Structure 1
Amino acid sequence: MQFATGPDPMDLLTLPWSTALERWPKEKLVSLPRGISRHVVRFVRIGGIVYAIKEISQGLAEHEYGLLRELAKRELPVVQAVGVVANRMTPEGEPLDAALVTKHLKFSLPYRALFSRRMDPELETKLLDALAELLVRLHLVGFAWKDCSLSNTLFRRDAGALAAYLVDAETGELRESLSKGQRLQDLDIVETNVAGELLDLQMSGLLPESIDPLETAMSVIERYERLWELLTAPQTMGDDEWWRIEQRLRKLNELGFDVAQIHINEHDGDPHVMVQTQVVDAGHHRKRLFALTGINVQENQARRILNDLDTYRSQAVMPGTEVDEDTVAHHYVTDVYDPVVEAIPAGLAEKLEPAEVFHEVLEHRWYLTQAAEREVSMDYATQSYMQTVLRHRPDEKAFLDSSLMGVGALDADDISDDPPDSDPEENDPADVDMSDDDMSDDAQAG
């Protein structure tokens, strides 16, 4: 057996690699929802980290491992590849397929799990927007997926929206750039796959009657083409319209994309110039927030936190006072962001990732303020949210339904998803007397 891996727990070597994955003992496994897969997939927990293991031929495993690592280097949203276990054999000397090991994407869910406990009436729109954006980002770096689908994608909540992550790259190819024909091939594939997946949801009773699977699948193409056009189409303007370049750059930044180069073509005697922007990466707000605060979150979460940071600055800094942005950001993290994250009870920490909790606390505060018709403090809103909202949200356990588990599904009742002696209700928020005097706190901004 050969195990090519990075600095991950050596306990990975103690797993029963000489046994076919479908026969691994249940005590070694944890049960998590996953999309439908043509391969056997299992989850294990080692050192507090959950790993996904997929049994696949050695050539495909090494190919996918290399692609995932390269895409991660380019800061694309993909699962983290850990290693490939090759040359596996049973004790009797029978060869076994290789195994690709990746880290499970925490706080992520496959599309069927999202539909099984629908909490958002705009789920289809957000899901397809996320998938279209992921495909655009992959195409911008020259990656042809060739098997784009909802099943090969995981979704994480991102400040009320969804962020899509590529999970399966075994059919993909990475080139210097993609031709229009190669992009269209991916679009044909995603339309076919998404239509089939939505029809399957419809047959399972998980899709609202108002949603047409075929029309909805076609809308992915429309979403993709709108974003691709905005990011890549050349712009013609007059020699007195340079302000339009800044307008376009601002629009791209608002969408979360950075621009590396601006190409300008001028022709003698022609009063117009052709401007072509080269978009290099998404994550404009995420990078800016990280540089200011050290907080590493997703793009929409970063945009929301930066907006709240601007509000905090306007309230905390006296007019005419010169205070640098880094200093304000430091106080914001200490006074506003960290207290909310630290208030999350240990027993509720697996409900949502901290940045999403912070976003929801901001939303909760706004609704409380509207209802009270006066400013509600962050401290009050935080306590109220923990008691009345977060503790009632479903976590991953709520999605452990055999119909969501994909090929080779296991009985969730036979598998432990918690570390020994854990209590999911431990450290639930205690009852707090939140009187009217507590609701307003002039010293607390954010």
Structure 2
Amino acid sequence: MALQISATNPEHPALLLELPWQTPLEQWPEELLVPLPRGISRHVVRYARAGDEVIAVKELAERPALREYQLLRDLDRLAIPAVDALAVVTGRTDAAGEPLEPVLITRHLGGSMPYRSMFETTLRPATMHRLMDALAVLLVRLHLAGFAWGDCSLSNTLFRRDAGAYAAYLVDAETGELHPRLSEGQRDYDLDLARVNISGELLDLEASGALHPSVDPIDFGTEICARYKRLWDELTRTSVYPAGKYHYIERRIRRLNDLGFDVAEMQIEHASNGDTVTFVPKVVDAGHHQRQLLRLTGLDAEENQARRLLNDLESWMATQDDYAPGDPLGARPEVLAHRWVREVFRPTVRAVPVELRGAMDPAEIYHELLEHRWFLSERAQHDIGLHTAVEDYIATILPRARETLRPTAD
């Protein structure tokens, strides 16, 4: 069987052909390898350079190699934090013509580290908790996407620093399965595997003297399950609010945003005792909100401004009589978005006198007004409405802001 390279990018096969596929991976010469820390793996894994890229090469049987390659591509399509699959090389033979195992090639995740290399110096318990938080978030994201990991562990995860916290990335999808939706039993099984694996890995670290003495491996494995369940409940539970308490909806959205998730849809079902609001979270990539706001409304804003405006737009659309997602007779989101710009966004911004705006652009003004509305509604324990918030903002906030910015005499 001739050597075959199945790659995601047409440029990769030419670069990969230069590597010594006729040599078993564990015998590759040092000059081809990149000395990066590696985690524990049941397979032979090496880092090498292909052109300008650093790649991870893993030997395994053909069927699981092709399967993992496809699963990693599916996770990339779903915007799940995982390593990028680049290629699968099959048909390998050595110099004597004897068959060699195929390899799966992924792109090295820059700035990432396997958990064992992070324990080369004893981690503080606070840092350990951040690692567990990152892994719990990753597991929830996978389950929301319908992915059952089948072998969640610290060994199958890479960690990368993220503004004082950590982000976790799936690095091994060999045992995974992708479904339209996971059952509670499938999630519980995956979670129990994570608990057992993590406790076992921490016990191993404890035996080697690398674990902080205050960290109990069994308790820590149990704690990640508790963190997962709290996060899962926050993301998936149905919230029931009485009519007129729309600032409660915003409070829930803020909590989801703080957890790193965004609200892609809101379904409101009218009931005799109030409105039932079901939140469907969706993990999105950086810059998503800017692009979505620009596409829907034509407004160009910074990422955080765009996220705030989109949340307000989504809440407003859910109150419109002709908002019916999935109904061909309902108004399209683009139509409602332009109506929101015309009837809500522009009149609200224009209500703030030009001479009082300072250097703030329209998106920042609207964001400030939403923040002020949130503050006043929390204090009043009911939604005060945008018009009242604008009036109070002009009367109480802007004058103080101008006084602060006014130059003082020498």
TM-score (norm 1): 0.64
| 1:320 to 2:357 alignment | yes
Tell me the CA shift for residue 264 of structure 1. 2.5
Tell me the CA shift for residue 272 of structure 1. 3.4
Larger RCO: 1 or 2 (CA < 8 Å, sep 6+): 1
Please tell me whether the aligned partners of residues 122 and 211 of structure 2 are also in contact (alpha carbons under 8 angstroms).
Answer: no
Q: Which amino acid aligns with 1:202?
A: E
| 1:124 to 2:128 alignment | yes
Tell me the CA shift for residue 320 of structure 1. 2.4
- The alpha-carbon distance between structure 1 residues 34 and 106, as it changes in their structure 2 partners (threshold 3 A), is same
Partner of 1:276: 278
Matches within 5 A, 1:362-377: none
- The alpha-carbon distance between structure 1 residues 117 and 48, as it changes in their structure 2 partners (threshold 3 A), is farther
| 1:157 to 2:161 alignment | yes
- The alpha-carbon distance between structure 1 residues 275 and 39, as it changes in their structure 2 partners (threshold 3 A), is same
Question: Which of 53, 66, 79 is residue 75 of structure 1 equivalent to?
Answer: 79
How many pairs are equivalent? 305
Q: Which amino acid aligns with 1:320?
A: R
The runs of 4+ residues in structure 1 deviating greater than 3 Å are 118-121, 285-292, 325-328
| 1:27 to 2:64 alignment | no
Partner of 2:240: 236
Matches within 5 A, 1:90-239: 90-118=94-122, 121-239=125-243
- Alignment partner of 1:125: what SS? helix
Partner of 1:350: none
Q: Which amino acid aligns with 2:358?
A: T
Q: In structure 1, what is the Cα distance between the partners aligned to 2:250 and 2:256?
A: 10
- The alpha-carbon distance between structure 1 residues 289 and 32, as it changes in their structure 2 partners (threshold 3 A), is farther
Q: In structure 1, what is the Cα distance between the partners aligned to 2:362 and 2:96?
A: 66
- The alpha-carbon distance between structure 1 residues 242 and 326, as it changes in their structure 2 partners (threshold 3 A), is closer
Output one character per residue of 1:98-135: Cα deviation in whole Å (capped at 9) or x when no partner: 10001111110011111113465511100000000000
Q: In structure 2, what is the Cα distance between the partners aligned to 1:191 and 1:83?
A: 32
Larger radius of gyration: 2
Tell me the CA shift for residue 188 of structure 1. 0.6
Output one character per residue of 1:365-391: Cα deviation in whole Å (capped at 9) or x when no partner: xxxxxxxxxxxxxxxxxxxxxxxxxxx
- Alignment partner of 2:17: what SS? helix
- Alignment partner of 1:122: what SS? helix
| 1:4 to 2:15 alignment | no
Please tell me whether the aligned partners of residues 125 and 212 of structure 2 are also in contact (alpha carbons under 8 angstroms).
Answer: no
Consecutive unaligned residues in structure 1, runs of 5 or more:
293-301, 307-317, 329-446
Please tell me whether the aligned partners of residues 137 and 282 of structure 1 are also in contact (alpha carbons under 8 angstroms).
Answer: no
Please tell me whether the aligned partners of residues 123 and 211 of structure 2 are also in contact (alpha carbons under 8 angstroms).
Answer: no
Tell me the CA shift for residue 48 of structure 1. 3.1
Q: Percent identity?
A: 48
- Alignment partner of 1:42: what SS? strand
Question: Which of 49, 52, 57 is residue 53 of structure 2 equivalent to?
Answer: 49
- The alpha-carbon distance between structure 1 residues 282 and 213, as it changes in their structure 2 partners (threshold 3 A), is farther
- The alpha-carbon distance between structure 1 residues 112 and 235, as it changes in their structure 2 partners (threshold 3 A), is same
Partner of 2:337: none
Tell me the CA shift for residue 230 of structure 1. 0.4
- Superposition RMSD in Å: 2.6
- Alignment partner of 1:196: what SS? helix
| 1:252 to 2:256 alignment | yes
Q: In structure 2, what is the Cα distance between the partners aligned to 1:73 and 1:147?
A: 21
